[in-house]
Amino acid sequence: MCWTYIVECADGSYYCGWTNNVNKRLAAHNAGKGAKYTKPRLPVKLVYQEEFSTKEEAMSREWHIKQLTRFQKEALIRSWTGC
């Protein structure tokens, strides 16, 4: 199983990625290890995750989310989470 996830960084920015293990990836982001797209040592919190059966599906969703602007991502997250 693979997951696409969105995290909110401490500076208010969003990062989207895909992984086989969400908890391990979040720990790496928060430790500043392997988090090449987030600013090192800025804590992140998970705001959305979606499970897929294949890596290709997860990567496709990640690509589509990365094409959105920050405001579009915020609106998408609100629609998914009901906030």
The 10s digit of each residue's pLDDT in 33-56 is 655 555 556 778 888 888 999 999
pLDDT digits (tens, 9 = 90+) for 7-43: 888 888 888 888 998 888 888 877 776 555 555 567 7
Tell me which residue of 20, 19, 4 sits closest to 64, measured CA to CA: 4
Contacts of 29 (CB under 8 A, 6+ apart): 7, 15, 35, 38, 44
Distance CA 63, CA 30 (A): 23
CATH number at residue 57: 3.40.1440.10
Other Cβ atoms within 10 Å of 29 Cβ, number: 25
Residue 83 has pLDDT above 80, yes or no: no
Domains in the chain, number:
1
Domain ranges, residue 73: 2-81
